[in-house]
Amino acid sequence: LSCPGGDVGLVVGRRKIRGDGSQRRHSLERRELRHRLHQAVASRLSSSGSDTIRVMDLMGAPHRSQPIGVWTPAGGLNITNDRHRRRSGASGANDTADASLRLGNGTVIRVVSILNEPFVMLREGSENASDFRQRYHGFCIDLAEMVFAKLGVDWQLHLVEDGKYGAQEPSPDGSGELEWNGMMGEVIRGKADVAIASLTITSERSEYVLFSEPFMNFGLSVIIKKPQKTKPGMFSFMQPLEHQLWVAILMATMILAAVMALLARVSPLEWNLQDQPPPDQQRQRASGPGCSVEVDRYGRSQPTQRPLLRHQPVQTAERNFSLVNSLWFSFASFVQQGIDISPRSASTRIIGSCWWAFSLIIMAYYTANLTACLTIERLIAPIESVSDLANDAKGVKFGTLNSGSTKEFFRRSEEPTYKKMFELMERDKSVYTNSLAEGIDRVIRSDGKYAFILESKTNIYTNNRKPCVTMMVGQEFSLKGYGIAISQERHELRERINEAVLQLRESQDLDRKYKEWWIEKGECPEDGSPKLQPLAIGNLLGVFGILIAGLLLAMLTALLEFCCSSRGGFGVGDGGSRL
């Protein structure tokens, strides 16, 4: 209870009344409470001489007592607000009339905001303008104009003194109590009636101010500097498939050749009988009319009258699918080329058919992606999601605003990924920034070594503004909403502002304003479908390298074969001359 002559406190325990047969006990408690209250009121009235007592809520927000009604001898107790700051009265018509009376002509709403593109921005060349409408423009300025036009009141705008959104910090007087800074602090202390900005609705803030319906939904996101486009290199023909897949294909080719050779050795249908000439003799005979000619080991012929010896051919068993031939079969089939041998047994035909189907699918996928890999420049970002930041991928540092709801989200989160990110930021507090502009400027200057976490709407707007060197990475997370913060002392504004916001959402006015400030006023050209570039010699250097390597390998193999044959020797032609 609060009186002009001082305050009197009345502590009453709160108990929940249940329908369990204890109505009499609760009735006695209520009767005792009324008796104690009347005694305290009579004592205060007799000492102060006033006939009005204010009723305060001491169980609301911490460290704050809020007026919720008055008591007079004539009218009794009149509760105008419950503990949730909702208007109460005899009828809704009386509330509307009372609100209309307080919001009549001449009412001026004090609005606090903060510079943040495109919500509130300073007009160019308007530093000396006296009217705030001539100095500032942006989405929130248009929102305030539409909302207060529906309320039929005037409004005045000023920027927050410390340039912060609002967070609790220790009191500067050293008392140890926490105080709100930024826009939240100005609204709570009565320097402003409402705060219209990109102010996030949180449960902690809702204990101290009233929030309207969200006028815009968003999520947290990561912004980094755009990497340079990577041009196709000399081995870009290998990019359609990952390196692990290339290794898997090579292993499959070798395994198929080994299995094919094994099945061909086991299956009798893969064996052939071949007629082989007789072994080379020390002396070779050639037939002639009535005589024979003998050729000695030096190639000199001598006539002789001895009869010509005729040797019977030798039959040997051979198979086409040796290990070398099987390797040739698997490779030629994979590159869709024909070969001069084919499987004949059922087992080798089955495995050969499966290999053909496998090769067809792999080559179809490869050729479908080959053009894009050879001709399109791609952006390769150092990180792809928030998880990469938590895992300290490629040493990219990250931070957020030093005071605001984003930092509080990471501090309070129980998610392991976000909890780990907060621990990393706390180890190096230099990653925090005092303003969004400072964080974005640091991202641009970091050359991909620093990422900034901010609201997705600001991220999208920044990416569409010059110098067009930033981009959003990954998906949004922690979906929230922006709302209008209303002082608890001006609780009558809440219902009217909520009604106005809902009407603007239903009429699509907020959507049109979003398109105007985020899309239509964008300064960066839209990234359309990537254009194909003509192939250059640099794109196919790897292919030419493979061809040259194959030629050198073939020449080396031929040299080795020649050396081996020279040492062992083999016959050529019908004459059987030795090389």
> Residue 112: its pLDDT value, please?
95
> Residue 299: its pLDDT value, please?
46
Closest CA to 433 of 460, 451, 417: 451
Successive 10-residue mean pLDDT values, the chain, 579 residues: 45 39 54 68 63 63 56 67 42 40 65 92 82 90 93 92 88 80 92 93 91 92 82 70 86 88 82 63 45 48 52 65 84 79 83 86 83 63 82 82 86 90 90 90 88 91 88 88 92 91 93 91 69 62 76 82 71 40
Buried-state track 138-155, b at ≥16 Cβ within 10 A, e below 16: bbbbbbbebbbeebebeb
Closest CA to 329 of 233, 254, 239: 254
Buried-state track 492-530, b at ≥16 Cβ within 10 A, e below 16: bbbbbbbebbeebeeeeebeebbeebeeeebeeeeeeee
In order of 138, 165, 208, 220, the CA distances from 200 in angstroms are 18, 9, 14, 11
Judge residue 370's burial from the number of C-beta atoms within 10 Å of its C-beta, 0-12 exposed, 13-18 middle, 19 or more buried: middle
Say how far apart CA 259 and CA 342 lie, in whole Å.
15
Q: Find out if CATH 1.10.3720.10 is the number for domain 237-270+318-373.
A: no
Say how far apart CA 27 and CA 24 lie, in whole Å.
5
> Residue 333: its pLDDT value, please?
83
Which amino acid is located at 322 in the chain?
A: S
pTM above threshold 0.75: no
Number of CB atoms found within 10 A of residue 539's CB: 20
> Residue 574: its pLDDT value, please?
42
> Residue 110: its pLDDT value, please?
93
Would you list the domain boundaries of the chain? 26-79, 237-270+318-373
> Residue 452: its pLDDT value, please?
93
What is the CA 376 to chain-centroid distance, rounded?
Answer: 23
Helix (H, G, I), strand (E, B), or coil: what is residue 511?
Answer: helix
